[in-house]
């Protein structure tokens, strides 16, 4: 088998934009083959896949809603066919809705946010553990869940449902990490703070980071590439004795 086919494989859900896209590009630069999932923007996903190939790595972009168990199963089946392995899962896919107080939140919105942000990572982790765990004759691996500083701060008056869904993801990180710690799998969590990404437009305020940056001890917003570096540190061998941990990438907030 040639060197390229021996490269570790990283799957990044929601990899077509923002933190996911930055992580895909940096992972390729660090020697990973890269698979990404996306829901709607096929052109953006294919552009990221092309960037990975230009870096000399193999890539795969698959349309898959991480809240749908059938689509998640199909995503992992596609990875099996293309790469025959998975070494790192980055549960990055998430949704955010318009800023709102609690009493105005629609039930359907709550359902969708929890389905994507909390249940989706669990569904993906289920598939990953069946391929990574020593119990299933896997070679081990790493899972990095992307939470949010809002899980600590609560996002009052803006995104309490989003914050609550990320809190659920952090509790899942803790339990899952302990469950598979002796099976060769490390499970950790990143809490990004106010990062310049397209996601803020989904909440109705594209300029939100600039509005709040004076409240950040470092006095600025963060960049997707800064989060990507933290993700890939936790994913890799330099973090070999780190599991069940949440790492803040928040500029001190």
* Residues with catalytic function: 162
Q: What share of the chain is helix, strand, coil (3-state, %, to 5)?
A: 50, 15, 30
DSSP annotation string for 189-225: EEEE-SEESTHHHHTT-TTHHHHHGGGSTTSS-EEHH
Nearest alpha carbon to residue 169 among 99, 32, 66: 66
Handedness of CA 19, 142, 239, 53 (dihedral sign): negative
- Phi, psi for residue 82 in degrees, rounded to 5: -80, -40
């Amino acid at each position: 088998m040639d060197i390229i086919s021996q490269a570790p494989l990283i799957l990044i859900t929601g990899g077509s934009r923002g933190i996911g896209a930055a992580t895909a590009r940096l992972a390729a630069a660090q020697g990973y083959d890269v698979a990404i999932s996306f829901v709607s923007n096929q052109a953006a996903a294919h552009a990221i896949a092309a960037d990975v190939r230009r870096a000399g790595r193999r890539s795969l972009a698959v349309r898959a809603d991480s809240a749908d168990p059938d689509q998640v199963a199909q995503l992992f089946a596609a990875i099996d066919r293309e790469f025959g392995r998975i070494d790192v899962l980055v549960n990055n896919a998430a949704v955010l809705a318009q800023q709102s107080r609690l009493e105005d939140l629609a039930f359907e919105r709550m359902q969708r946010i929890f389905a994507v942000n909390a249940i989706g990572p669990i569904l993906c982790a289920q598939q990953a553990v069946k391929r990574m765990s020593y119990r299933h004759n896997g070679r081990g691996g790493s899972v990095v869940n992307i939470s949010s500083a809002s899980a600590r701060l609560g996002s009052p008056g803006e995104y309490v449902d989003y914050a609550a869904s990320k809190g659920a993801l952090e509790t899942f990180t803790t339990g899952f990490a302990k469950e598979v710690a002796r099976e060769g799998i490390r499970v950790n969590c990143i809490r990004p703070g106010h990062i310049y990404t397209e996601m803020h437009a989904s909440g109705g305020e594209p300029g939100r980071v600039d509005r709040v940056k004076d409240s950040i001890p470092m006095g600025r917003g963060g960049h997707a590439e800064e989060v990507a570096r933290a993700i890939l540190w936790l994913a890799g061998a330099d973090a070999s004795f780190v599991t069940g941990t949440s790492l803040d990438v928040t500029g001190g907030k």
